[in-house]
Amino acid sequence: MYRLPALEPVRPLRRIALLTSGGDAPGMNAAIRAVVRSARTEGVDVLGYSRGFTGLVNGDMRPLTSASVASILHRGGTQLKSDRCDAFREAPVRWQCAEQLREMEIDGLVVIGGDGSLTGARLLYEETGFPVIGIPATIDNDIQGSDETIGFDTAVNTALDAIDRIRDTANSHERLFLVEVMGRNSGFIAAQAGIAGGAELILVPERRIDLDQVCRSLRESRESGKASSSIILVAEGRKPGRTQRLAQALEERGHEPRLCILGHTQRGGNPTGRDRVLASCLGTMAVAYLANGQQGVMLGIQDRAVVAVPLAAIGERQQLDPSMLDLALTLQR
């Protein structure tokens, strides 16, 4: 379980708002529910903006009550919908949004999303001074300042379930499968699902693909009798078609790979218990931090404790620990 800080309220909250932005992540609904119910317990009204910053720009919001968030804890996606808003990239638009929030007597905004969403939250706070709390929700787990992000555990387990099923077919027909998981800039899903699923090779954006090494590993596995079938887990990478190009290159070298792209199945589905608890803790603490007078921070997990990280301190994406890839190589031998 997570350790939650004891915070004393120092400012009265009358009304707060929240939104979900960017790519959806399993557990966003659990975070929405936690924000609403913890706020309503303290007599604080909650407004939910639809479709992320697009709803904020357009003033598209509705009141949220404890009843309106009933039976969403276990559901994937986001009840508030999500979007990527180009208009919010403009500073005058952010100023206009802050003025609208103040005119509606809203005391703070909770932004639930990934890297781009938290960047928008940071700019809104830095430029206008409007109180903002960020909650990291992305299946990529690449937000600097938090050991875990909402949705990551579910995405890994979704990928792992597919790997286990593909393994049955691979073993039955002694075949080579390339399984592509999400991760344009981050190999967290590939590394964790690959280790848990016993993949023979794990290829991530953080390391260049060495085709000679891939072929050598496949050959050694078959010659040693260690494996008559193989699964190579591939993070999609920055340029589309990475896994298809690898499959073609392997075919040119005499292999017969089968290709399986998991795609957006990793975003959907019911969140795991771990993601539900994580989202519930961060959503509840977002209200507590606002009442404590803290703002311009993202709530994250460090050493299993909820911590507040200044949004200004969140820079480049969190990098995959190379030791995880070394562990994967050790277990493949």
Is there a catalytic annotation at residue 140?
A: yes
Task: Tell me the helix, strand and coil percentages in the chain, rounded to 5.
Answer: 45, 20, 40
Place of tokens 């049955």: 168
Query: What token pair was written down for 202?
Result: 């794990």
Any bridge partners for residue 112, and if so which?
Answer: 20, 135
Number of Cα atoms under 13 Å in the Cβ half of residue 324:
18
Token pair, residue 9, equals 């309220």
Task: Point out the catalytic residue in the list 140, 142, 153, 275.
Answer: 140
Q: What DSSP assignment string belongs to 134-185? A: EEEB-TT---TT-S--BTHHHHHHHHHHHHHHHHHHHHHHT-EEEEEES-SS
- Cross-strand partners of 308: 299
Neighbours of 14 (CB within 10 A): 10
3 state SS of 319: coil
Amino acid at 233: L
Instruction: Output the CA–CA distances (angstroms, integers) from residue 98 to 105, 275, 292, in the order listed.
Output: 11, 31, 21
Catalytic positions are 140
